[in-house]
Amino acid sequence: MATAWYTDAFKNGNGPDGNVPAGAVLCQYTQYTAGSTTGIGDTVYLFRLPKNAVLVDVIVQWDASGSSGTLSLGTCIANSTTGKWDSPTVVQATNIFNVAAVTNSAGRASLTGGFTGTSLLSSALLGTTTALCLGNKFTVETGLYVTFGTAAFPNDADLYFAALYFVDYGADMAYDAG
Amino acid sequence: MAATAYYTDNYKAATVPDSNVPAGLLLAQMVKYTAPTAAYVGDTVYLFRLPANAVLVDILAQFPAGSSVTMSLGTVTYSTGATVSATNIVNAAACTGAGRFSLTGGFQGTTLISDALIGGTVGPGTKFTVDTGILYTNAGAALTADDNVYFIVLYFMDYGADMAYDAG
């Protein structure tokens, strides 16, 4: 049965601080240890980023998984009915990482590349279906969460996640010709 | 059509980027460039302006698929507009498939991007002694109209005389 897990950073009653100097790079980090063998569709809610946060990078490390392990990373918002974070509303499950193969080997990934064992992780890191661009600015407070495909990680396997972002209060980040 | 120069708001702003910030605090600037027409060989986009004493940490880029595309990143002396080098950060990285890179690696499609990311004399830890611009150039039939390219630069301020090391 698919199970939802929540980090303390995600469930904390206080929202992440959005009143910080513009452009200063901030980081949130969390470690997830599988409480049992993860199943298809298991979800771990990781971080909440404040409104106006600009995503710089997400850095992930994982232990060797079981066979056919995959990992996706997506976004969610507070429950659209209750406004609470204990049952968030999904925006898209694969708009950051789209089913990255993490089969049987430890590895690491960031938005700009990664590896599992000796294999390159590449286009899966672009996400899919309204994929988020590098530098995406969240207009509302947004959560990041991971989902596992197939029989991904054994009991006690560790996964580590760090999200880098800054807060931008400006109207745009546009360009002009000439 | 002649090669065209484009300037981001970040680059053209009359106010210099804030350089009076705590030393070592990691800072970021982000910009999105949308090609207004098909990009041509030699088109240049002036992306970022970094203050004197900025130390470069990383540059992250995301690009769409294109045909025969290469991307280069270089530097400009901001006060004069003179190009120091168009390829001293990234030197003609092949970006034919959609992908991303940072200074430490990247991918296009399912292919690794590697040594093109060692452009020249500028890289992680380079300290700019004067206000410095970062520019992006295309080669090949690079981008189609409305294609988006995204860049983030990471840096910090160092007010010390050097970042040397001593033995013993």
> Which own/partner pairs from B113-118 qualify as long-range (CB within 8 Å, at least 24 positions apart)?
B116/B70, B116/B90, B116/B91, B116/B92, B117/B90, B117/B93, B118/B91
Residue B157 CA to residue A29 CA, distance in Å, equals: 24
Partner B contacted by A55 (CB < 8 A): no
Kindly state whether A21 is in contact with chain B, defined as any CB-CB distance less than 8 angstroms: yes
Please check whether residue B43 lies inside any domain of the structure. Answer: yes
Overall average pLDDT of the A51-72 stretch: 88
- Token look-up 């590349």 returns A113
What pLDDT is stored for residue A175 in this prediction?
43
pLDDT of residue A20: 81
> How confident is the model at residue A173, as a pLDDT?
44
User: Could you tell me what percent of chain A has a pLDDT over 70?
Assistant: 91
Confidence of residue B40 (pLDDT cuts 50, 70, 90): low
Q: Is the pLDDT of residue A39 over 80?
A: no
Count other Cβ atoms within 10 Å, centred on residue A114.
24
Inside any domain, residue B31: yes
pLDDT per position as a tens digit, B149-168: 999 999 999 987 555 555 55
Per-residue model confidence as pLDDT tens digits over B47-85? 999 999 999 999 999 999 876 788 999 999 999 999 999
CB-CB under 8 Å, B60 with A57: yes
**Measured between CB atoms, does A112 come within 8 Å of chain B?**
yes
Question: Could you list the residue range(s) of the whole structural domain that residue B68 is in?
Answer: 27-157
Q: How far is A135 from B60, CA to CA, in rounded Å? A: 9
Torsion angle defined by CA atoms of residues B4, B5, B8 and B12, in that order, rounded to the nearest 10 degrees: -140
Other Cβ atoms closer than 10 A to B167: 3
pLDDT beyond 90 at A172? no
What's the average model confidence in pLDDT over B107-117?
Answer: 94
Partners of B5 on chain A (C-beta within 8 Å) are 178
Give a yes or no: residue B15 inside a domain: no
Q: What ipTM is given for this predicted complex?
A: 0.87
> Cβ of B6 and A175 within 8 Å?
yes
At the second CATH level, the architecture of A4-12+23-167 is: Sandwich (2.60)
Sheet containing A43-49, strands listed edge to edge, beginning at the edge strand earlier in sequence = A4-6, A43-49, A142-149, A70-77, A89-101
* Mean pLDDT score, B122-139: 93
Number of domains comprising chain B: 1
Whether chain A has a CB inside 8 Å of the CB on B65: the answer is no
Any idea which of A9-13, A101-105, A165-169 has the lowest mean pLDDT?
A: A9-13
**Averaged over A12-22, what is the pLDDT?**
75
Domain residues of chain A, as ranges? 4-12+23-167
